[in-house]
């Protein structure tokens, strides 16, 4: 059996991690197991997971109800192709998603990840206009500081600076970028905030298939919270200019922002919605793209006669069964009150960070909090500091942020906020 150091050496030599060089110069921490809100490392240390395994494990690790759903399903079948076949877990999960999402969304296309869900949404929009005899409507309008994934179409709609567009110059489809919203959540709305978005629609609407953005909460692009009125105005403008609206709820869906979906703050029903991450409770990779009957009905009459997309592991039965159990678990308790409690505690305990020299801003909404620094963090230094304090966080850019599991207890959350304050104080 390999020693712990041998494992780390093999990992560094052969395993490519996300957003890392090869060989990987950054520290990695081998995990032995995980349960509840805790990650158990191979060296025996226990870490409170303050980011829900990249915002997915909303009910923590090894939840008995999710495990039971997985065991039950795996005894029947772990996978079967979805072309020409169907199964109960996919049908039941589709029904549940239709019940939970805005009322006009009636059709569900399953995929393997959030990035692919965005690719599906963008292809749906482009092929929709082709079906309607307007193939030149094939570009997308988005807003700066956004993030939609790392595949090519999704990346083309990410912030052109943070999205590193220059590295893939000539390969990414040029899209239209409105200024990022500046009126923060809770501030007084200012109509000028939507002017850039409105101007681009007026000038380029005949080329734009859809507007795509994250409603209210911009996540990996900077953990920014903006005014819901922006979403309302954007929705109205899209209707005026005959442009579809795609809302990316991959990070915010299923309660994270304090609403079931962030678009609920604006009372907006999109034409297309993407969900993922928390969908399966972090158990397995699964995502979905939902759309309306009006959009779906154009495909049978279009040139292709079908929607031109079909992932190999689409609607994996095991992932669907666990996801259904996860959503039923979410509906089984008062998650709204729990998120409100987390929000209140985060706001109270992170407020002292505002007085630190290294800190530029502190932002909290629902079970999301970000401490923005004046300078980017040094991951090689900061990551081990959090581990030493018994907390797992994954800072990026200038942000120390937390998106804890919904099941986190007050004392565990205090450990997370204390670690953030102490690390920020030492910078």
Give catalytic status of residue 406 as yes or no. no
Rounded to 5 degrees, what are φ and ψ at 82?
-100, -5
Do 284 and 318 contact (CB within 8 A), yes or no?
yes
- d(CA 64, CA 8) in angstroms, rounded, equals 31
Residue among 257, 311, 255 at smallest CA distance from 120: 311
Give catalytic status of residue 19 as yes or no. yes
What residues contact 53, with CB distance under 8 A and at least 6 apart?
A: 61, 282
- d(CA 257, CA 135) in angstroms, rounded, equals 36
- d(CA 110, CA 318) in angstroms, rounded, equals 13
**Exposure of 197 by Cβ count < 10 A (0-12 exposed, 13-18 middle, 19+ buried)?**
buried
Give catalytic status of residue 248 as yes or no. yes
**Residue in 49, 112, 248, 271 annotated catalytic:** 248
Do 308 and 127 contact (CB within 8 A), yes or no?
yes
Consecutive H or E run containing 41: strand 38-41
**Residue in 61, 128, 147, 265 annotated catalytic:** 147
DSSP codes, 391-405: EE---BTTEEEE---
Cβ-count burial 260-291 (b if 16+ within 10 Å, e if not): bbbbbbbebbbbbbbbbbbbbbbbbbbbbbbb
**Residue in 19, 43, 334, 357 annotated catalytic:** 19
Whose tokens are 């923590």? That residue is: 60
**Residue in 96, 259, 277, 389 annotated catalytic:** 277
Whose tokens are 């919203």? That residue is: 181
Give catalytic status of residue 277 as yes or no. yes
- d(CA 387, CA 29) in angstroms, rounded, equals 9
User: What angle separates helix 64-74 from helix 317-331, to the nearest 10 degrees?
Assistant: 150
- d(CA 196, CA 204) in angstroms, rounded, equals 12
- Positions annotated as catalytic residues are 19, 147, 248, 277
């Amino acid at each position: 059996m390999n020693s712990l150091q041998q494992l780390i050496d093999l990992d560094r030599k052969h395993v490519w991690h996300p957003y890392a060089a090869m060989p990987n110069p950054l520290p990695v921490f081998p995990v032995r197991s995980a349960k509840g809100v805790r990650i158990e490392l191979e060296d025996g240390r226990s870490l409170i997971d303050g980011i829900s395994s990249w915002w997915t494990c909303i009910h923590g690790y090894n939840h008995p109800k999710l495990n039971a759903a997985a065991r039950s399903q795996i005894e029947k079948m772990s996978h079967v192709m979805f072309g020409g076949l169907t199964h109960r877990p996919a049908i039941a999960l589709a029904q549940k998603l239709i019940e939970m999402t805005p009322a006009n969304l009636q059709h569900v296309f399953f995929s393997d990840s959030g990035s692919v869900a965005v690719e599906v949404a963008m292809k749906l929009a482009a092929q929709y206009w082709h079906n309607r005899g307007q193939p030149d409507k094939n570009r997308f309008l988005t807003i700066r500081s956004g993030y939609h994934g790392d595949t090519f179409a999704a990346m083309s709609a990410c912030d052109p600076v943070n999205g590193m567009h220059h590295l893939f110059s000539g390969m990414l489809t040029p899209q239209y970028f409105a200024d990022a919203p500046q009126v923060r959540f809770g501030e007084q709305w200012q109509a000028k905030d939507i002017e850039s978005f409105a101007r681009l629609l007026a000038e380029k609407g005949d080329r734009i298939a859809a507007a795509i953005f994250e409603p209210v909460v911009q996540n990996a692009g900077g953990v920014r919270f903006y005014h819901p009125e922006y979403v309302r105005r954007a929705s109205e403008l899209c209707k005026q200019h005959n442009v579809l609206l795609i809302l990316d709820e991959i990070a915010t869906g299923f309660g994270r922002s304090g609403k079931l979906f962030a678009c609920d703050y604006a009372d907006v029903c999109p034409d297309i919605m993407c969900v993922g991450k928390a969908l399966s409770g972090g158990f397995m990779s699964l995502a979905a793209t939902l759309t309306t009957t009006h959009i779906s009905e154009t495909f049978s009459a279009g040139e292709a006669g079908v929607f031109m997309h079909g992932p190999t592991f689409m609607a994996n039965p095991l992932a669907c069964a666990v996801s259904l159990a996860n959503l039923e678990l979410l509906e089984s308790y008062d998650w709204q009150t729990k998120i409100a409690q987390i929000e209140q505690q985060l706001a109270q305990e992170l407020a002292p960070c505002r007085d630190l020299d290294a800190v530029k801003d502190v932002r909290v909404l629902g079970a999301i909090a970000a401490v923005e620094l004046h300078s980017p963090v040094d991951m090689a230094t900061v990551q081990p500091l959090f581990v030493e304090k018994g907390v797992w966080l994954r800072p990026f850019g200038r942000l120390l942020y937390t998106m804890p599991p919904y099941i986190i207890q007050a004392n565990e959350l205090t450990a997370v906020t204390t670690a953030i304050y102490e690390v920020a104080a030492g910078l």
